[in-house]
Structure 1
């Protein structure tokens, strides 16, 4: 083996591995791409979903497994990895294709992720997606509307 065989993957390489693993988050080792601890931010998260989470690789692995019972991802489309001036930060764009396990209904969710990679692992991810499209695709739109109404009522009561 050469020294290059043991090289730490670049942020771009980690992002490309992420895109390859995303359709099968449980079996593909997607969780293995993350650091021991990771911060995940979702600035457009709907009510009831934390906008910032500090978690571990093993907690992510469990989260991916739980999600597999509800939805199955079938592929990634329109994928692009953009490098930034910071060699440890990349921007990943993609459409994630899937289907609901219970109904077989197909969906496409579009994402932009700003990933920070250190020592070949994702340590921070800022995930941008459309929460309305996700709720609709996953059959959760009525619950999202309930949460939005409760959130609005709470704001009105302030």
Structure 2
């Protein structure tokens, strides 16, 4: 069984490897990803595919460090804290993040991605 923890770590690994074409497959067809600090929202695998394609075109090169995973009493929910370090849009970044993800049947069905910068 693919646990929410494993799916979260696969997502971070795929971002680090710049596996942009693989990443949408971690999400359910009707997944919803919300960025509460910006109000942005991605709905469905097609929008996620476009989101990751844009990352590829912008030369995003990130690695997640200082990873802390919080498992919850809800077996579908995992909370991951980490810091993205690397380059985005030609600039070095050091950006703390928290993802609150719901994973069902091995796929991300919803995620709230909190970050500043």
Question: TM-score normalized by structure 2?
Answer: 0.87
1:78 to 66, 88, 92: 66
CA distance in 2, matches of 1:22, 1:100: 12
Please state if 1:33 is matched with 2:26.
yes
Q: Give the number of the structure with larger relative contact order, counting CA–CA contacts within 8 Å between residues 6 or more apart.
A: 2
Task: State how 1:63-102 maps to structure 2 within 5 Å.
Answer: 63-101=51-89
Structure 1 residues not aligned, in runs of 5+: 1-7, 135-158
Please state if 1:119 is matched with 2:102.
no
Give the SS at the match of 2:112. Answer: strand
**Structure showing the higher helix proportion among its residues:** 1
- 8 Å Cα contact 1:80-1:92 kept in structure 2: yes
CA 1:40/1:100 → structure 2, altered by over 3 Å: closer, same or farther?
Answer: closer
**Deviations 1:47-100 (CA, angstroms, capped at 9, x unpaired):** xx53xx351113211211112222422311111221000010000111112214
CA drift of 1:25 comes to 4.6
Higher Cα Rg, which structure: 1
**Deviations 1:129-155 (CA, angstroms, capped at 9, x unpaired):** 11xxx2xxxxxxxxxxxxxxxxxxxxx
- 8 Å Cα contact 1:16-1:81 kept in structure 2: no
Task: State how 1:126-141 maps to structure 2 within 5 Å.
Answer: 126-130=112-116, 134=117
Please state if 1:19 is matched with 2:5.
no
Structure 2 residues not aligned, in runs of 5+: none
CA distance in 2, matches of 1:82, 1:100: 27
Question: TM-score normalized by structure 1?
Answer: 0.66
**Structure showing the higher strand proportion among its residues:** 2
CA distance in 2, matches of 1:18, 1:63: 14
